[in-house]
Structure 1
Amino acid sequence: MIYSNLSGGLGNQLFQYVFSQSLSKIRGDKVVYITDSYNYYERNIEIFKIFNIEKAILIDKNKSRYKFVTLNFIVRSALIRLNNIFNFFPFIFTDEFKKIDQICTYQDDVYLHGYWQDLEFINIYDPDVINSLVVNKNIADRNKYNADEVSRNSSVGVHIRRGDFFSNKNINSYAVCDEKYYVEAINILITQQSTIYVFSDDINFVKNNFSLLMKFNVKFINISSVDDFYVMSMCSNLIISNSSYSWWAARLGPNSNKKIICPKNWSLDKNISNISLDGWIKI
């Protein structure tokens, strides 16, 4: 059995889901998801809302073979930090543990904790797992107009992530994509017929502070997290931020010929890996 902790927003959930499902193909195990982190943080479990995938959530933690799994999220997280130093529990694997072969061959149930955003983990992705991520029909139907608009060859989608990336806690790590980055990227993709479709968690900030961007023919898409994600994935060309959310929108889009531009540095912290894929334009 693989116990996989789900946490964070939709992009993080996708990294956790696809890694654990791909790992299950290698190990021949089933996966169940532990979701009690959402009792403590202001996030929602969105992956099961947007995609037609099996909702395998561990409801009764007492059915787990490991007493560790029955503990609440805060206690588990504290023990995991200690375990990274002392290795009390060999069945716990975190994304700081980069020896993927040991996770694949461990001869018992495993507990996965982390975001798994590293090319070493991405490289084991099973194509069948990726192909299983089919958007629910009701989401596709209600966004048909916008999806058709952004899928035109001349359109350029732009994801501008603000929010906690620019908080005092994170600004020295994640404040990578400034207005200069977006304008340089747009100038690579734009044609005379282009419309720029902007997706952001802070539309007002973009309107008031990105004056160079606003000189282009700009339209804003701001519906909901799951709706915006689907529309973004349909863009014929896409400029992403250093965000797991737009990384997956770029990865899952149906247009195999689209151009994707991403930041050459995923973080200002050199210890954080760049997870841009081959074929993406890095600036």
Structure 2
Amino acid sequence: MKLVSFTAGLGNQLFQYCFYRYLLNKFPNEKIYGYYNKKWLKKHGGIIIEHFFDVKLPRSTRWINLYGQYLRIIYKCFSCGVSKDDDFEMNRTMFVGYWQDQCFFSGINISYKKNLVISEKNTWLLGEILKCNSVAIHFRRGDYMLPQFKKIFGEVCTVKYYLKSIRKVEEKISEPVFFVFSDDIDWVKQNFTFNKVYFVDWNKGQNSFWDMYLMSQCSANIIANSTFSFWGAYLNKNNPFVIYPQKWVRTNLKQPNIFPKTWMAL
């Protein structure tokens, strides 16, 4: 028996689901359950991956969750039983991490649910995206500006990074139209000017999924150092031109092995 922990927001849940599928392939005769950290998930709107994607999450029970809590306590005391990103061992019982590596998700098919109900406003925007050389550009600030996150993720995607990315897109794509997705549109308007632009700021809470969906429909993507942003580009089936930040975090952590070779680092 093995347990996979699911936690954090939609982007990380997608990585964790891929890792679960990876384990299913590695251990076809073993039961693999889900451990759902309700306290941490609640901060990000809960488990929302199954609302929008064609996935089958691992089942869980009250006993499984209690067992997961027990294993985490044992790990804190004796460093055994639990495998983490920076301490990965296949033969352990519980897996707690984000599993941001192509070896875990390449070959795993992730697709949207076929019966998704899109709002009138998002339907209108999708029409605008599909009729031009659309460029999704994602600015993530919000929680990245909080002290505990800023020291890790903040100020990686600087104004300079976005200006260089915009110039590169304008060199590559004829008459680009920018679609700005951000949790701080006012900051974007104060720091950048675009010839043709749409600002997208109405998809809130669980509906923020629609930002990811709309980004994945564009002709090109400029992403932030965010797993949400990454999936918006990775799920794009239009053979997009994608730019990502050369540095993912401010700390000495190495760049995650998640970027396709066809993408451009700046």
| TM-score range for the pair, normalised by the shorter chain length | 0.7 to 0.9
Query: In 2, are the aligned partners of 1:152 and 1:236 still within 8 Å (CA)?
Result: no
**Separation of aligned partners in 1, 2:252 and 2:54:** 37
Runs of 5+ unmatched residues, structure 1: none
Does the aligned pair in 1 maintain the 2:2–2:94 contact within 8 Å? yes
Counterpart-to-counterpart distance in 1, 2:87 and 2:179 = 38
How far apart, CA to CA, are the structure 2 residues paired with 1:221 and 1:247? 18
Aligned residue in 1 for 2:243: 261
Indicate how the Cα distance of structure 1 residues 235 and 205 shifts in structure 2: closer, same or farther if over 3 A, else same.
same
Percent identity at matched positions? 27
**Corresponding residue to 1:114 among 74, 94, 97:** 97
Q: How does 1:121-200 map to 2 (within 5 A)?
A: 122-125=102-105, 127=107, 129-130=108-109, 132-139=110-117, 143-152=122-131, 154-175=133-154, 176-190=156-170, 191=173, 193-200=175-182
CA distance in 1, matches of 2:93, 2:240: 38
Instruction: Name 2:87's counterpart in structure 1.
Output: 97
Q: Structure 1 residue 15: deviation in Å?
A: 0.7
Distance 1:250 1:155 in 2: 13
CA distance in 2, matches of 1:79, 1:151: 52
CA distance in 1, matches of 2:43, 2:150: 20
User: Aligned residue for 2:218?
Assistant: 235
> In the alignment, what sits opposite 2:262?
279
Describe the shift of the 1:152–1:272 C-alpha distance in structure 2 as closer, same or farther (beyond 3 A).
Answer: farther
Deviation at 1:159, TM superposition (A): 0.7
CA distance in 1, matches of 2:128, 2:73: 47
1:163-194 CA-to-partner distances (Å, cap 9, x unmatched) read: 12122122232120012211210111125622
CA shift, 1:76, in A, is 6.0
Paired with 2:254 and 2:219, the residues of 1 have a C-alpha distance of 29
Query: What is the aligned partner in structure 1 of residue 58 from structure 2?
Result: 56
Deviation digits for residues 34-83 of structure 1 (CA, Å, limit 9, x no counterpart)? 2233467421221011112224331x232x4x9632x3xxx765554x25
CA RMSD in angstroms comes to 2.5
State the Cα distance separating 1:263 from its structure 2 match. Answer: 0.4
TM-score by length of 1: 0.80
Q: Counterparts of 1:161 and 1:133 in 2: how far apart (Å)?
A: 24
**1:242 counterpart letter in structure 2:** N
Residue matched to 2:234? 251
* Structure 2 residues not aligned, in runs of 5+: none
For the 8 Å contact 1:35–1:57, the answer to whether it is kept is no
Q: CA-to-partner distance for each residue in 1:178-235, whole Å, 9 max, x for gaps?
A: 122112101111256221101112223322x32xx22432211232311111111111
CA distance 1:40–1:230, change in 2 (3 Å): closer
Asked whether the 8 Å contact 1:2–1:20 carries over to 2, the reply is no
8 Å contact from structure 1 (residues 234, 253) kept in 2: yes
CA contact (8 A) 2:7 2:41 kept: no
Give the whole-Å Cα distance in 2 for the aligned partners of 1:163 and 1:57.
Answer: 32
Q: What count of residue pairs does the alignment treat as equivalent?
A: 255
Aligned residue for 1:26? 26
Preserved CA contact (<8 Å) 2:181 2:199: yes
